[in-house]
Amino acid sequence: MNQPGQSGRTELKRLPYKASFELSDLYSIIDENLVAHVGLVENGQPLVIPMTYGRDDDTLFLHGSSGSRLMRLLADNPSVCVSITELNALKVARSNFNSGMHYRSAVIFGKARLLEDDEKLAALDLISDSLIPGRVAEARPMTKKEAAATIIVAVKLDEASVKISVNEVDDPEEDMNLGYWAGIVPLKRGVGEVIPADAESQSLPIPESIKRFIERHQAER
């Protein structure tokens, strides 16, 4: 397992001070977010697909439908680029040119490997529990038909670029004292009130995994 930013295509050439070379930052970005954007090539054209995922140590697992074009594309070319971004604030400077964002992002390069049989089933459970920890134990077990309709691919986290932007507004001297406002606008991810799907669900208590998920994200506000 290599540290982030150690290959030619993961080296951050513009604003290199934003680069992180720590595995802990890469893992944190992956574990604390919910959607990855997966880049592939189809007939010479780029294609980006949003996907749910989970991580086990140095491997990322991506979830998709067996009816999608993903399986066919990966059979022809298993090379993928995975991007995960967490937006935390807007940095509003006195000019739009100097404005920006606070964010953490990871870009991962690798080869996707299609999982089968028990390895796939274990990865499906891992992805479900990555989204909502403890959910697998509270849900109906997956059927063979459902498993057959799902594909899971594994991507090793051997080549990645991690970028973290938290710098404050730093307007040039000539922009000061002109009567223009500058500052930081924090952005927070939150959860709303749960909505039971039907009368049966209304009569049942909210599952513990859902309660913990709500409490966790309310605490992040």
Residue 45 shares a structural domain with residue 146? yes
Instruction: Kindly report, residue by residue over 43-83, the tens digit of the pLDDT.
Output: 888 899 999 999 999 999 998 888 777 777 876 788 999 99
Q: Which of 3-7, 37-41, 98-102, 113-117 has the highest mean pLDDT?
A: 98-102
Do residues 120 and 153 share a domain? yes
Whether residue 156 is found in the same domain as residue 202 = no
Confidence of residue 2 (pLDDT cuts 50, 70, 90): low
Burial class (CB in 10 A: 0-12, 13-18, 19+), 80: buried
Q: Are residues 80 and 37 in the same domain?
A: yes
Domain containing 155: what range? 16-171+181-187
Structural tokens at position 174: 């000539």
CA distance 57 to 80: 19
> Does a structural domain hold residue 10?
no
Asked which of 16-25, 137-146, 155-164 is least confident by mean pLDDT, the reply is: 16-25
Do 217 and 136 sit in the same domain of this protein? no
Give the pLDDT confidence of 100-133 residue by residue, as tens digits.
Answer: 999 999 999 999 999 998 999 999 999 999 999 9
Please indicate, yes or no, if residue 58 is contained in any of the structural domains.
yes
Q: Which pLDDT does position 70 carry in this prediction?
A: 75
Do 107 and 199 fall into the same domain?
no
User: Considering the domain boundaries, does residue 110 fall inside one?
Assistant: yes
Residue 109 placed within a domain: yes
150: left (phi over 0), alpha (psi -120 to 50) or beta: beta
Q: Within this chain, do residues 164 and 76 fall inside the same structural domain, yes or no?
A: yes
* Whether 75 and 145 share a structural domain: yes
Q: Is the pLDDT of residue 1 over 60?
A: no
Say whether both 119 and 163 belong to one domain.
yes
Residue 8 lies in a domain: no
CB-based contacts of 133, cutoff 8 Å, min separation 6: 209, 212, 213
- Whether residue 209 sits in one domain with residue 102: no
Do 104 and 197 share a domain, yes or no?
Answer: no
33 and 142 inside one domain:
yes
**Average pLDDT of span 176-197:** 94
Work out the number of other CB atoms within 10 angstroms of the CB of residue 59.
Answer: 17
CATH number for 29: 2.30.110.10
Domains contained in the chain, number: 2
